[in-house]
C-alpha cells in the first residue's frame, strides 16, 4: 500500500493508505482527528471541510493520496495554547451552533473567507456558505458569528490567522 506523508495541524504525519482512502477517513480513523465530520459522503453538506494548502476542500471527496506532501489544517488545529481561534470563540459567543454537527465545516469554510476578505458583508458571508448545510440554526447566528470574528480578526496581529 502507498504511504502518504503530510503536515496536519503543524505536525508531520504519515500512514499507509489504500489508493481509494478518502482524506476524511485518513484524518478520522488513522490520525484520530474526529472533529472533521462525515455528513453526506457526496460533498453536498460541507461537514467535512478542512484546509489543504490554505484552501477549503471537502475531505469526503478528496483522496488522502492527493494530499501527499500537503499542509492540512483541521478544526483541531485552530486553537493555540488552549485559546480558541477568534472564529471558534465567535461561534460560541454568538450561539452559531445548536447540535454542532456542521460547525467544524462551517468554521473551516468561514476561515478561508475571512483570510481572503477580512471585511465581508452579510450577503458575502451567506453566499460563501452556500456549500455548507445546517439543519438546526437557520444561519442567522452563524452569519453573526462570522461577522464578529471578522471584526476581531481585523484588530489582531496577522499571527492570529
Q: What is the DSSP string of 57-112?
A: EETTSSBGGGGTT-EEE-GGGT-BTTBPPHHHHHHHHTT--SS-SSHHHHHHHHHH
CATH 1.10.150.120 residue ranges for the chain: 86-155
Q: How many C-beta neighbours within 10 Å does residue 66 have?
A: 12
> Is 3-76 assigned to CATH 1.10.10.10?
no
CA distance 101 to 57: 17
pLDDT of residue 103: 95
Q: What is the pLDDT of residue 83?
A: 95
The C-alpha atoms of residue 105 and residue 38 are separated, in whole angstroms, by: 10
Question: What pLDDT does residue 108 have?
Answer: 98
Look at residue 42 in the predicted model and tell me its pLDDT.
Answer: 79
Residue 160 pLDDT: 45
pTM of the complete model beyond 0.85 = yes
Class of domain 86-155: mainly alpha
For residue 104 the three cell numbers come to: 467544524
Please report the pLDDT score of residue 158 as a whole number: 65
Q: What is d(CA 105, CA 108) in angstroms, rounded to the nearest whole number?
A: 5
Listed as ranges, residues in the chain with pLDDT below 70 are 158-161
Give ranges for CATH 3.10.20.30 in the chain: 3-76
For 41, 79, 106, 135, 151, the CA distances from 130, given in Å and listed in that order, are 17, 25, 10, 13, 22
Amino acid at each position: 500500500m502507498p504511504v502518504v506523508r503530510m503536515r496536519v495541524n503543524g505536525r508531520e504525519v504519515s500512514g499507509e493508505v489504500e489508493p481509494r482512502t478518502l482524506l476524511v477517513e485518513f484524518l478520522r480513523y488513522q490520525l484520530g482527528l474526529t472533529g472533521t465530520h462525515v455528513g453526506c459522503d457526496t460533498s453536498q453538506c460541507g461537514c467535512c471541510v478542512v484546509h489543504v494548502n490554505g484552501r477549503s476542500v471537502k475531505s469526503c471527496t478528496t483522496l488522502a493520496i492527493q494530499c501527499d506532501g500537503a499542509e492540512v489544517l483541521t478544526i483541531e488545529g485552530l486553537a493555540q495554547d488552549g485559546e480558541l481561534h477568534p472564529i471558534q470563540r465567535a461561534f460560541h459567543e454568538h450561539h452559531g451552533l445548536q447540535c454542532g454537527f456542521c460547525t467544524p465545516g462551517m468554521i473551516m469554510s468561514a476561515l478561508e473567507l475571512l483570510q481572503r476578505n477580512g471585511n465581508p458583508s452579510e450577503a458575502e458571508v451567506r453566499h460563501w456558505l452556500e456549500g455548507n448545510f445546517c439543519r438546526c440554526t437557520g444561519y442567522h447566528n452563524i452569519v453573526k458569528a462570522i461577522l464578529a470574528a471578522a471584526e476581531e480578526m481585523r484588530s489582531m496581529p496577522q499571527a492570529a490567522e
